[in-house]
Amino acid sequence: MDTHLTDDVVGPLPGDYKSDVKPIWCPGCGDYSVLAGITRAMATMGLERHDTVVVSGIGCSSRIPAYTSVYGYHTVHGRSLAVASGVKLARPELNVLIFGGDGDGFSIGGNHFLHACRRNVDMTYIVMDNQVYGMTKGQASPTTEADWCESKLTPEGPGVNPIQPVALALACGANFVARGFSNNPNEVARLIVEGVRHPGFSVIHILSPCVTFRPEQRNWKSTVHPYGREPTDDPNEAMRAVLEDDGFGLGIFLAGNRRPFQPESAATRSIAQIEEGFAV
C-alpha cells in the first residue's frame, strides 16, 4: 500500500482504497458519498488491503467491490451475508464488510438478514436504503411507503407497510445498530469505524437517495435529524427508542454486549473434521 507523509503522520489515505474503476452511478446518486465515507473509514482504521474483504449482492449499491481496492466478492442477489459469513468463519482474522441495498438485503436476502443478526458473526453490514429497486428501473422495495404510486407495477402504491430495518435488526439480535445519511460522508465514515470496531454483527442503515427514481428523496437533507440520545447497550431500551423515532433519526442506537459467534468452536472444527475425512 502507498503511504503518505502528513507532517509526522504516516498512513494510508482514502484514495488508496479506491480502485481504478470509475463509478457508473447516476449523477447525484447518494451512493457516491457513501463510497467516500467507506474509503475514509478504511483509511481511518488503516486497514490492510490484503486483510480486508468487501462482499455485496446485486443492485446499484452492490457495485462497491468494483470501486474499492481491497479484496471484493460480488455475489448473487440477496446472498451477500451468507457468503460473508463463510469468509469470516473460514478466515476470522480478516476484516469483512458487506454492502448492498434495501431490495437485495431485505427482500431477496431477507431471510439471511434475520439469521445474520441472530448469529452475530463479527462483521459489518452497510445497507444503502433508497426505498426502491434502482438498478431494475424503479419498482417498490420492502422499505417503500405503502402509498408510493410512481411505479407502473404498483400504480396505486404497493399497499403494504414498509419494514423498519433498524427495528428489525434490533429484534433479531444485531449487536451494533446505527443509522446514517449519505450527505454526510464523515459521519458515515465514523459509523462504519464504530461498527467495524464493535464486536459481533453490526448493521449500519444508510439513507442514500435514488435521485433518478425517487427524486423527492433529495429533500431528505431537511428531513433527517440527530437521533439525540447516547447509544445504549440495552436492546430493549434501544427498541423502545427506535419505535418512537420517525425513521430519519441518525446516530448509534445500540452498542450491545452479545458475545460474537465463535468460529473456532464451529467452523474451524468442522473444517478439520472434513480434512480428516479426506485423509482417510
Q: In the chain, count of helices (H) and strands (E)?
A: 9, 10
Q: How far is the CA of 245 from the CAs of 33, 97, 143, in angstroms? A: 24, 27, 16
Which is closer to ligand SF4, CB of 16 or CB of 31? 31
> Which residues, 6+ apart, have CB-to-CB distance to 120 below 8 Å?
173, 174, 175, 200, 201, 258, 259, 260, 261
Q: Where are the alpha helices (DSSP H) in the chain?
A: 31-45, 64-67, 80-90, 102-103, 110-119, 165-172, 185-197, 235-244, 267-279
Among 41, 55, 58, 60, binds ligand SF4 (CB under 6 A): 60
Window 97 to 136, contacts with Mg ion (CB under 5 A): 101-103, 130
Q: Is 100 in the site for ligand SF4 (CB under 6 A)?
A: no
Please tell me the distance from the alpha carbon of residue 200 to that of residue 259, in angstroms, as a whole number: 7
CB of 68 to Mg ion, least distance (A): 19
Q: Is 210 in the site for ligand SF4 (CB under 6 A)?
A: yes
Which is closer to ligand SF4, CB of 91 or CB of 221? 221
Binding part of the chain for Mg ion, among 23-31, 96-104, 178-186, 240-248 by CB under 5 A, reads 96-104
Binding part of the chain for ligand SF4, among 23-31, 50-58, 110-118, 195-203 by CB under 6 A, reads 23-31
Which is closer to ligand SF4, CB of 25 or CB of 113? 25
Cβ distance 101 to 129 under 8 Å? Answer: yes
Q: Is 80 in the site for Mg ion (CB under 5 A)?
A: no
Residues in touch with ligand SF4 (CB under 6 A) = 25-26, 29, 31, 60, 130, 134-135, 210-213
